[in-house]
Amino acid sequence: MKLAKEICPTTTLGKVHKGALIVDVRKEEEVAQVTFDVPNYINIPIDELEDHINEIPKDKEIVMVCLSGERSLKTTYFLMNAGYENVFNMRDGIIKWVAKGFPTKGDVASLQSISSCDCSSSNCC
């Protein structure tokens, strides 16, 4: 089995600017609290993914996201097994996205206390 391709939030933002689709697999209440403020974004909760897989195009780059990168990694493998080739997992999830100061909507303060990332560090993606 092939390993999933994992990318950081910085790479994800670059891919989004080039037309990639972000698929957020968090629950609706999580998304209502804080979410990505980018074009080409859809929310399909992980427990509904199998029923809504046809909403995810195979002809675009897809970046799977969640809170911390764990649920989205599982769904990245799910899509790979379903024949998706241009699918990526965003490591560290929206927690790292918020820590980087990337575009969001909602209560980002609720996630900032979760992040242990010092994004001033040179090894932070």
Which sequence positions are flagged as catalytic? Answer: 66
Instruction: Give me the DSSP letters along 43-63.
Output: E--GGGHHHHGGGS-SSS-EE
- What are 113's two structure tokens? 């206390």
If residue 9 lies in a helix (H) or strand (E), which one and from where to where? helix 9-17
**CA 24 – CA 64 distance, rounded (Å):** 6
Contacts (Cβ under 8 Å, ≥6 apart) of 5 = 76, 87, 88, 89
Strand ranges inside the chain, DSSP E: 5-7, 21-24, 34-36, 41-43, 62-65, 87-90, 104-106
